[in-house]
Amino acid sequence: VEVKLKGDSEINVSVGTDYHELGVLLYDNKVLVDNPSYKVISDIDTNVLGKYEIKYIVKYLGRKYEVKRIVNVIDDIKPVINANVDKIVVDYCTKNYKTELEYTAIDNYDKDLTKDVIKEETEDKIILKVSDSSNNIGVLELPIEYTNKPQTTFKLNGNKVVYVSYL
């Protein structure tokens, strides 16, 4: 008599999802036994990260057989960063923001990570990054758009002498 697990002996399940029992197969003299009777002993909590063991106890022809499966509940989902805008508008002359940036960072397991967001600014974009406790990294890039560059020449009407100082 041989008892085998349906599926792999070690599997990963995403935190917060349902775990669906795969069961076992029972062979008697290499012939598959239909619907063998077995008991499952498990303490899996898919809302808590960790390594869990499932025991399958099969009773067949007065004998007991036991096989085990390891289920790893893991956090494999990146945090999501949401912003109130899809681009940042900056005044060309003053380099001041004309757009106020507000954002939130939410993770499926760690929940609110907004306070952990790292803001990085380059010449053409703002990059928001956050990492959860399982080292999944969420990234949001927002392009920077500058207002129009002022013209370098202009025309004055009239014939008075006008002095323009350059600061």
The reported pLDDT for the residue numbered 167 is 66
The reported pLDDT for the residue numbered 130 is 97
Separation between Cα atoms, residue 71 and residue 52, nearest integer Å: 5
- Write the pLDDT tens digit of every residue in 128-139: 999 999 999 999
pLDDT at 166 over 80: no
**97 C-beta neighbours (distance < 10 Å), count:** 13
The reported pLDDT for the residue numbered 153 is 67
- Write the pLDDT tens digit of every residue in 34-56: 888 899 999 999 999 999 999 99
Higher pLDDT, 153 or 68: 68
What is this structure's pTM? 0.71
Separation between Cα atoms, residue 24 and residue 78, nearest integer Å: 33
Query: What's the start-to-end Cα distance of the chain, in Å?
Result: 92
Q: How confident is the model at residue 92 (pLDDT cuts 50, 70, 90)?
A: confident
Percent of all residues in the chain with a pLDDT value above 90, rounded to a whole number: 71
Mention every residue, 6+ apart, whose C-beta is less than 8 A from residue 20: none
Q: How confident is the model at residue 123 (pLDDT cuts 50, 70, 90)?
A: confident
